[in-house]
Amino acid sequence: MTRRDAGFGELPGSPFSLAHVSDTPNGGTPRPLIGFITRDNAPPIGPAPISRAWMPEMSKTRTGWPNRCLPMLIANQSGWELRNPCAFTATWMGQDDGVDVIIAPHQRNTGQLLPTSHFGNGILTWHLPMLFRTPPGYNLLVRGPANYPKDAVCALEGIVETDWTSASFSMSWKFTRKLMPVRFEVDEPICMIVPQRRGELEEFAPELRSIESDAELHRKYQVFLGSRSKAKQMEQLTRLNAGEQVQWQGDYTRGRHTDGDAGPPDHQTRRHLRSFVQPRRPEHRQGSCDLRAQNG
């Protein structure tokens, strides 16, 4: 089984039915998120994973702990990833004669899903064969995968009113350097979708205040600063250089303040997003070019 096969079970009844889904963790009714497949070469889609390839490697060192950074881990999981089905290498040429981006697939199959240089100017675009539908009043933030740096290219993002539009959207990445070949592997994330309630940001009323205006918050902040003092940092650095194990503070991860007071009961350390349910009779995907599956 490849990564693209994981989490896509068949269930009886109408495709994308919510009848099988239990209530949400907060006791509410699940909201539908439907992906209508418009061609037979749709990319794999599933909940975004908690880690990234660079994070475990950095975590092996004594001075880097990205796998313990809860805000980063939660952000990593905050959406559904669409993954690249066909390996290719793209190079931004930027020539005056009209040759903008050269796209060289590692394998040529009929109907495979590959990006194009539709807009020029070093922009790589996937025309996604999927049309998403969200509940009334919900948009989709369409962006690149969170905390996923890639040399010489950067994901662009947009917001689409997917509760009513009958037009599909594309996903684009912008090259930052010319003549630098960029490789996209099979199953590499190319897009991340995140539902957002329309008009929610406009409901916020931003305001700046002195922290002294909230006595309790000020006190807790001072306790926090004391735990991060320069003296403590120097002590930890000395222990690190001596090869000793340094204790991880982890108060935020445990959902508590530095002074020991508890945080809110709904503090999250993980997200548990549902996988997309496949139609009852999934059709053969001619555009697939998973080399591992074909060679396995």
User: What are the residue boundaries of the structural domains of the chain, listed by start?
Assistant: 34-203, 211-254
Cα-Cα-Cα-Cα torsion 108, 111, 113, 116, nearest 10 degrees, comes to: 80
Q: Whose CA is closest to 158, among 168, 148, 150?
A: 168
- Say which residue the tokens 């975590």 belong to: 59
Per-residue model confidence as pLDDT tens digits over 269-281: 899 999 999 877 6
Q: Which CATH superfamily is domain 34-203 in?
A: Deoxyuridine triphosphatase (dUTPase) (2.70.40.10)
Rounded-to-integer distance, Cα 248 and Cα 236, Å: 10
Which stretch, 76-85, 114-123, 253-262, has highest mean pLDDT? 76-85
Per-residue model confidence as pLDDT tens digits over 205-222: 999 999 999 999 999 999
The pLDDT score that the predictor gives to residue 280 is 72
Rounded-to-integer distance, Cα 206 and Cα 202, Å: 10
Per-residue model confidence as pLDDT tens digits over 37-79: 999 999 999 999 999 999 888 877 655 678 888 999 999 999 9
pTM for this prediction: 0.81
Contacts of 218 (CB under 8 A, 6+ apart): 211, 212
Q: In this structure, are residues 43 and 115 in contact, taking their beta carbons and an 8 Å threshold?
A: no
- In the three-class reduction of DSSP (H, G, I as helix; E, B as strand; rest coil), residue 230 is classed as helix
Rounded-to-integer distance, Cα 124 and Cα 113, Å: 13
